[in-house]
């Protein structure tokens, strides 16, 4: 019993620690996907059921030709009903140019609603979880209670989802009479997948090979300095602590690249998850005393000018007053939607952290856009070094990724790369949770640069310590190879 569900008006449901979880690397939550599927292009490389990478074919379906990692996996998957409709689902996918994997996972969830509506939430694949309020729900209830954000979704995407939903609805009505799955239920599933699903990683793929829906993990909060990381291994997700967590503390993970500056992180969360992050790091003007976005104050000469963020009251992007249905050109609708996002972003004012004088000319915005322009033309740290000449803080540029690119460039002098990597690690250790994998890959890089064996070994040990915390025992050897 490590977590329980809590609920409040502004956050909705979320999970908190029901006891102290002091050791980083603890499995806080392990959940098997309610449903999953590979992306279309990976379907013949992965088991059609559990999404494990196939190194050899063990069993296949004589009807549809898809492959399974074992005969048992094929039997337990209950493949016959979906198999009969695969060609129709493929037509829907190709007609609408939607990934077949997405159509398939939505359809699989429909089948699960039809076949197992009363399935209990707590199954044998849940480890150490006491779900409080949720234990009275069925898994089907829980999936249906996840947020759809239908009103926030890009109208072009929503339009495709609606078309696909109506086609799936009629396929179900023709082939499984009494299925009682409505158009709106199917549309909700599409939206729930878009907003809540996690990427799956089969070994050997450098990026996500598929998608899985994990309804309990979907209740976890986002934080830009989270206390947990997640790893997916086939169709299971492991939520592992990466910092000590105290009783009653909110359990958090991150949905985005945390090495980005606040403005970029918030923009990404707003456009993909439909909320403005107000975590500690996002609301800390100095980003936890790291000053990643700042320039020297010309008034007091000692302070740094940083962006002050005005909190917004209304974070919901309503499109109610826009007439998308009668809009001929969906690109116009999309532009309108973009504009809404722009207006929803909190307005930043730049202010000296020391003397409190306000930068009336938005010099900070000008500096940032010039850095970004320079980087897009020439993504090289030399450019930044020139521009840096005291115009911005020493780590302002770091978070735009160019310094890390420099550090991995073999033609650059070793001593400089070592110096920068140590600088990067120092900053990442302040802004990220103590065992974040970003830190371990920098230690790994560092270990390859040191000529001194002792220093190299120490850096490699640090990298391994970090990786071991994130990857569950037993999966360490396979999974860590990609990172180490």
Q: Tokens 């650059």 map to which residue? A: 412
Closest contact distance (angstroms) between CB of 51 and Zn ion is: 7
Nearest residue to 60 via CA among 73, 51, 119: 73
* Segment interacting with Zn ion (CB under 5 A) among 55-63, 93-101, 110-118, 136-144: 55-63
* Sheet arrangement for strand 348-352: 295-296, 304-309, 348-352
The single residue among 277, 309, 407, 463 that binds Zn ion, judged by CB under 5 A, is: 277
Residue 294 or residue 445: which is nearer to Zn ion going by CB? 294
What is the rounded CA–CA span in Å between residue 315 and residue 318? 9
Q: Kindly state whether residue 381 participates in binding Zn ion, applying the rule CB under 5 A.
A: no
Of 87 and 135, nearer to Zn ion (C-beta) is: 87
Size of the site for Zn ion (CB under 5 A): 21
Task: Give least dist CB 224 to Zn ion, A.
Answer: 3
Q: In the complex, what is the shortest distance from the CB of residue 155 to Zn ion, in angstroms, rounded to a whole number? A: 27
Choose, by CB under 5 A, the member of 282, 425, 431, 459 that binds Zn ion: 282
Q: Which of 3, 73, 220, 439 binds Zn ion (CB under 5 A)?
A: 73
- Position 44 contacts Zn ion (CB under 5 A): no
CB of 374 to Zn ion, least distance (A): 26
Distance CA 376, CA 414 (A): 25
Q: Which stretch binds Zn ion (CB under 5 A): 107-115, 282-290, 316-324, 423-431?
A: 282-290
Decide if residue 241 touches Zn ion (CB under 5 A). Answer: no
- In angstroms, how far is CA 5 from the centroid of its own chain? 21
End-to-end Cα spacing for the chain: 33
Question: Nearest distance from residue 319's CB to Zn ion, in Å?
Answer: 24
Instruction: Closer to Zn ion by CB, 72 or 448: give it.
Output: 72
| CB-nearer residue toward Zn ion: 47 or 140 | 47
Q: Which residue has the tokens 């975590």?
A: 279
* One character per residue 172-211, x = contact with Zn ion (rule: CB under 5 A): ----------------------------------------
403 binds Zn ion (CB under 5 A): no
Q: CB–CB of 256/265 below 8 Å?
A: yes
**Per-residue x/- mask for Zn ion, residues 83 to 102, rule CB under 5 A?**
x-------------------
254 sits near Zn ion (criterion: CB under 5 A): no
Tell me if 114 contacts Zn ion by CB under 5 A. Answer: no
Minimum CB separation of residue 411 from Zn ion in Å reads 36
One of 16, 54, 58, 61 touching Zn ion (CB under 5 A): 61
Task: Report the residue number, 83 or 114, with the smaller CB distance to Zn ion.
Answer: 83
Residue 365 φ then ψ, to 5° = -65, -40
HEC readout, the chain: CCEEEEEECCCEEEEEECCCECCCCCEEEEEECCEEEECHHHCCCECCCCCCECCCCCEECCCCCCEECCHHHHHHHCCHHHHHHHHHHHHHHHHHCCCHHHHHHHHHHHHHHHHCCCCECCCCCCCCCCCHHHHHCEHHHHHHCCCCCCCCCCHHHHHHHHHHHHHHHHHHHHHCCCCCCCHHHHHHHHHHHHHHCEEECCCCCCCCCEEEECCCHHHCEECCCCCEEEEEECCEEEEEECCCECCCCECEECCCCCCCCHHHHHHHHHHHHCCCCCCHHHHCCCCCCCCCCCEECCCCCCCEEEEEECCCCCCCCCCCCCCCCCCCCHHHHHHHHHHHHHHHCCCEEEEECCCCCECCCCHHHHHHHHHHHHHHHCCCHHHHHHHHCCCCCCCCHHHHCHHHHHHCCCCCCHHHHHHHHHHHHHHHHHHCCCCCHHHHHHHHHHHHHCCCHHHHHHHHHHHHHHHHHHCCCCCHHHHHHHHC
Q: How far is the CB of 266 from Zn ion (least distance, A)?
A: 7
Residue 431 as a binder of Zn ion (CB under 5 A): the answer is no
Of 49, 221, 227, 252, the one binding Zn ion (CB under 5 A) is: 49
* Residue span 325-364 as binding mask against Zn ion, x where in contact by CB under 5 A, dash where not: ---------------------------x-xx---------
Nearer to Zn ion, 213 or 224 (CB): 224
Among 129, 224, 251, 290, binds Zn ion (CB under 5 A): 224
Of 282 and 381, nearer to Zn ion (C-beta) is 282
| C-beta closer to Zn ion: residue 86 or 446 | 86
Cβ proximity to Zn ion: between 162 and 267 the closer is 267
Binding residues among 295-314 for Zn ion as defined by CB under 5 A: 297, 299-300, 303
Which of 15, 28, 46, 47 touches Zn ion by CB under 5 A?
47
Closest to Zn ion by CB, 340 or 358:
358
Which residue ranges make up the site for Zn ion (CB under 5 A)? 47, 49-50, 52, 61, 63-64, 69, 73, 83, 224, 277, 279, 282, 297, 299-300, 303, 352, 354-355
């Amino acid at each position: 019993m490590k977590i329980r569900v809590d609920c409040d008006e502004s956050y909705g449901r979320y999970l908190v620690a029901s006891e102290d979880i002091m050791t980083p690397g603890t499995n806080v939550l392990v959940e098997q996907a309610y449903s999953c599927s590979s992306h279309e292009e990976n379907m013949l490389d992965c088991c059609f059921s559990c999404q494990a990478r196939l190194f050899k074919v063990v069993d296949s379906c004589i009807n549809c030709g898809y492959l399974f990692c074992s005969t048992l996996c094929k039997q337990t998957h209950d493949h016959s009903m979906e198999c009969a409709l695969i060609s129709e689902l493929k037509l829907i996918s190709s007609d609408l140019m939607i990934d077949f994997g997405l159509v398939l996972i939505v359809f699989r969830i429909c089948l699960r609603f039809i076949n197992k509506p009363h399935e209990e939430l707590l199954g044998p694949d849940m480890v150490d979880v006491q779900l409080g309020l949720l234990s009275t729900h069925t898994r089907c209830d829980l999936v249906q209670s996840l947020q759809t954000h239908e009103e926030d979704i890009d109208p072009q995407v929503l339009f495709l989802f609606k078309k696909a939903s109506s086609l799936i609805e009629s396929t179900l009505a023709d082939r499984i009479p009494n299925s009682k799955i409505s158009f709106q239920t199917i549309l909700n599933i599409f939206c729930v997948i878009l907003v809540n699903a996690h990427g799956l990683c089969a070994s050997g793929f450098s990026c996500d090979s598929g998608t899985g829906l994990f309804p309990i993990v979907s209740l976890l909060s986002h934080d830009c300095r989270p206390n947990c990381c997640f790893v997916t291994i086939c169709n299971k997700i492991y939520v592992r602590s990466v910092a000590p967590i105290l009783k009653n503390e909110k359990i958090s993970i991150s949905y985005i690249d945390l090495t980005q500056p606040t403005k970029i992180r918030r923009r990404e969360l707003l456009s993909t998850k439909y909320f403005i992050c107000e975590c500690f790091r996002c609301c800390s003007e100095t980003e936890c005393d790291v000053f990643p976005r700042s320039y020297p104050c010309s008034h007091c000469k000692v302070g740094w000018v940083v962006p002050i963020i005005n909190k917004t009251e209304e974070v919901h992007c309503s499109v109610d007053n826009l007439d998308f249905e009668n809009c001929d050109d969906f690109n116009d609708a999309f532009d309108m939607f973009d504009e809404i996002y722009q207006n929803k972003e909190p307005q930043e004012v730049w202010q000296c952290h020391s003397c409190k004088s306000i930068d009336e000319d938005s010099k900070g915005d000008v500096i940032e856009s010039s850095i970004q322009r320079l980087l897009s033309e020439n993504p090289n740290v030399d450019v930044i070094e020139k521009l840096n000449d005291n115009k911005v803080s020493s780590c302002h540029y770091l978070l735009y990724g160019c310094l890390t690119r420099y550090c991995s460039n073999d033609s650059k002098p070793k001593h400089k790369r070592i110096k920068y990597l140590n600088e990067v690690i120092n900053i990442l250790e302040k802004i990220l949770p103590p065992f974040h994998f970003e830190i371990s890959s920098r230690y790994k890089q560092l270990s390859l640069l040191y000529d001194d064996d002792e220093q190299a070994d120490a850096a490699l040990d640090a990298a391994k310590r970090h990786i071991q915390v994130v990857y569950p025992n037993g999966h360490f050897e396979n999974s860590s190879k990609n990172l180490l």
